Amino acid sequence: MSNDDIGKRCAEAGFGHMTRRELIRAGSAGAAALVAGGPAGAGEARAAMPPAIDTNFKDFTLVSINSDDDSLVKVQTNGLIAATSNDWPYSYLDAATGAWKGLDAEIIGFVAKMLKISNVIVKPVDWDALVPGVLDHRFDMIADSINYTPERAKVAAFCFPTYYYAEVVVVPKGNPLNIHKLADLAGHSCGSLLGSNYTEWLKSVPGIAIKDYKDFNQLLPELAHGRVDAVIYDQPVMAALLLQHPEWALEIADPYDHYILKNPNAYSRYVFRQSDVQLVSAFSAALEWMQFHGEINKILEKGGLSGYNN
Domains and CATH numbers, the chain: 3-164+264-309 (3.40.190.10), 167-252 (3.40.190.10)
pLDDT(292) > 50: yes
pLDDT (mean) for 278-286: 96
Give the pLDDT of residue 118: 96
Average pLDDT score over the chain? 84
User: How confident is residue 97, by pLDDT bands cut at 50, 70 and 90?
Assistant: very high
Give the pLDDT of residue 134: 78
pLDDT tens-digit series, residues 175-224: 999 999 999 999 999 999 998 889 999 999 999 999 999 999 999 999 99
User: How confident is residue 155, by pLDDT bands cut at 50, 70 and 90?
Assistant: confident
How many C-beta atoms surround the C-beta of residue 76 within 10 A?
Answer: 21
Secondary element (H or E) of residue 296: helix 295-302
Q: What does pTM read for this prediction?
A: 0.77
DSSP for residue 51: P
Give the pLDDT of residue 1: 61
Separation of alpha carbons 226 and 241, rounded Å: 17
Give the pLDDT of residue 39: 43
Query: Among positive and negative, which fits the CA dihedral 116, 119, 124, 129?
Result: negative
pLDDT(108) > 70: yes
Give the pLDDT of residue 156: 76
pLDDT(33) > 50: no
Higher per-residue confidence, 40 vs 11: 11
Q: Which letter, b or e, does each residue of 209-234 get, where b requires 16 or more Cβ atoms within 10 Å of its Cβ?
A: ebbebeebebbbeebbeeebbbbbbb
User: How confident is residue 257, by pLDDT bands cut at 50, 70 and 90?
Assistant: very high
Higher per-residue confidence, 11 vs 73: 73
Query: Among positive and negative, which fits the CA dihedral 116, 78, 50, 273?
Result: positive
